[in-house]
Amino acid sequence: MLTWQLDHFAESPRRASILRATEQHDDGWAEVDEALVVDEASGRLLDFIELPDGLKREASSRGIEGLSSDPYAAALVAQHRLHVYRRYAEHAEWSAFFAEMTSARDSYLGVSEHGSLDDLVRDYRLVRAGDLASLTFCNNGTEVTAEECGYAMRLQGTTLFIAPDPFGGRTVEIEIDAREIGSQSFSSAAGARHVVASAPIVRLRGLVKGTAN
């Protein structure tokens, strides 16, 4: 996001906190990602969407405290939790989670040196845009509409197109290392961890380009 030019990002006094929140918003998932979760019936590895709700809430609650030295970044990550799980807002089993995240967001925002709640909500668009760009590229995702974060995204081959163009005509190179495993089932999480740990590392490379539409 260093070359991002829209939404006043380049000159924002909160730029470092926005970048930190974008980079570290999923740190709370590290423990679950390392442990791996296997569906008992099918033996498939479960991804972050398929995990039981209890694990989602637990993983999402972690990580925010680790950003306490940057309260505005911590508030942005709490806002991220409220946003991505908003479909559960009326579910009784999620009520404690939403109360916790709202309290964390407001508390960290209150002690930060930056911005109001309105500023936070506007800045969060950038965090969400970075999150969705990563998800779309890494998961070969479907198109993202502009209603979600103010930017539409689509993946074509290994090129991610974002509209409106946030890069001022520049093309950005991206890459990520991944473990490559074949389609298979596992009898246990321990077995899955062994296979993943011994799997070859591949480097996925691509481009990100701005476009008018």
- Rounded to an integer, what is the distance from CA 44 to the centroid of its chain? 23
Q: What is the pLDDT of residue 9?
A: 84
Concatenated DSSP letters of 81-141: HHHHTGGGTT-GGGHHHHHHHHHHHHHHHHHSSS--HHHHHHHHHHHHHHHHHHHHHHTTP
pTM: 0.92
Residue the block writes with tokens 């490379």 = 205
Residues 29-68 pLDDT 10s: 999 999 999 999 999 999 988 999 999 999 988 889 889 9
Please tell me the distance from the alpha carbon of residue 24 to that of residue 137, in angstroms, as a whole number.
18
Residues 119-148 pLDDT 10s: 999 999 999 999 999 999 998 877 899 999
